[in-house]
Structure 1
Amino acid sequence: MSTEWTVLPERYDTPDATALRVDYYYDVASRYYRRPIRAEEIDEGILNDRLERLSPPTGEFVVGHKGGKPAACGGVLMLDGERAELTRVFVRHAFRGTGGAALLMDALETAAVGLGARHMVLNTRLDLVEARALYVRSGYREIPAYCEGPYMEIWYGKELRTDDRATDGTAR
């Protein structure tokens, strides 16, 4: 079996994408509530997450596979004519440190550029330290709040390069 990463657009509701979203919710919600999240809470979160917007022309969802196994996901949502928001970025714990996070970020930025974005923004929580480190490594810098909500504690932004984006979604 190949140990190569592939990161490509995929519907948010495929079996692989759904399993990754369940793991994402389990990880972030369990940290927030400081207890294991219950299955019904995950189901409610997924049911109400409005990810149907993560389809062109308003957004895109991508899934990363390593060696054929679903390992990472994320989405971009157009906020206006030039600004996209990064959302649901997640790499399964077993696949962290294998190079997929950088590929995932590149694929998400490429998707945003393809939708017309020139700027990417995101919000996250302070306790999601791995995600925050990934964003900073990827060139994101802290910005003033552009939205508000119960799970938003820090905001990041980045100007997107609109040239020389890879489109094949593969790397070793």
Structure 2
Amino acid sequence: MTEIRPVAVDEPDAHGLLQEYFALRASIFPGGTYRTAFPDPATFTEPDGVFVVLYDGEEPVGCGGIRRVPEGPEGVRYEVKHLYVCDAGRGRGWGRMLLTDLERRAAEFGAAEVVLDTHHTLDAAGALYARSGYVEIEPYNDNSNATRWYSHVL
């Protein structure tokens, strides 16, 4: 049975998944220039944010978070960060499950829009976002790890 639980971003399950995610990104990032920065736990504190872990039974298999960012053209805006599903969990719809959960939480916090950034080499992520109704937008931040920016109006 899968379950999504909010956790502090510095709890062991969340931290372990983030370590996996950052290591994977660094290993495949063009030019070996991926910047890793573990998030400040205060960034993901309700109602300005939340971090969740997806469990398969008691095994942590995925994670992601949302955080409030400056308002955009649609109004209140939250950003999806660190959406990750471990290798064994890919192809099971867990990425979409996490994204849907984060969008729901953002809406409950009053978001009119959810945004995210990604890198063009992450084909599966780009496909997930396109299938989920995200559209490409102009950059809203200066993330040097990103080459594409997306928005989804809630």
**TM-score bucket of the superposed structures, by smaller chain:** 0.7 to 0.9
Amino acid in the other structure paired with 2:80 = L
Larger RCO, structures 1/2 (Cα 8 Å, 6+ apart): 1
> How far apart in 2 are the matches of 1:50 and 1:132?
26
Aligned twin of 2:114 = 120
Query: Does residue 1:75 correspond to 2:72, yes or no?
Result: no
Matches within 5 A, 1:126-141: 126-141=120-135
1:128 Cα deviation from its structure 2 partner: 1.3
TM-score relative to the length of structure 2: 0.88
Q: Which of the residues 22, 25, 35 maps onto 1:25?
A: 22
Query: Does residue 1:97 correspond to 2:91, yes or no?
Result: yes
> How far apart in 2 are the matches of 1:99 and 1:150?
29
Aligned twin of 1:157 = 151
Identity, % of aligned positions: 34
Amino acid in the other structure paired with 1:27 = L
Per-residue displacement from partner, 1:116-142 (whole Å, max 9, x unpaired)?
A: 111001111111112111111211111
> How far apart in 2 are the matches of 1:137 and 1:91?
17
> Deviating runs (4+, > 2 A) in structure 1?
49-52
Kept after mapping to 2: 8 A contact 1:84/1:121: yes
Q: Which has the higher strand share?
A: 2
Q: Secondary structure at the match of 2:145?
A: coil
Kept after mapping to 2: 8 A contact 1:8/1:107: no
TM-score relative to the length of structure 1: 0.79
Aligned twin of 2:136 = 142
Kept after mapping to 2: 8 A contact 1:75/1:108: yes
1:33 Cα deviation from its structure 2 partner: 5.3
Unaligned runs of 5+ in 1: 161-172
Unaligned runs of 5+ in 2: none
Q: Which of the residues 108, 115, 120 maps onto 2:102?
A: 108
Q: Secondary structure at the match of 1:28?
A: helix
> How far apart in 1 are the matches of 2:86 and 2:56?
11
Aligned twin of 1:14 = 11
Aligned twin of 1:58 = 48
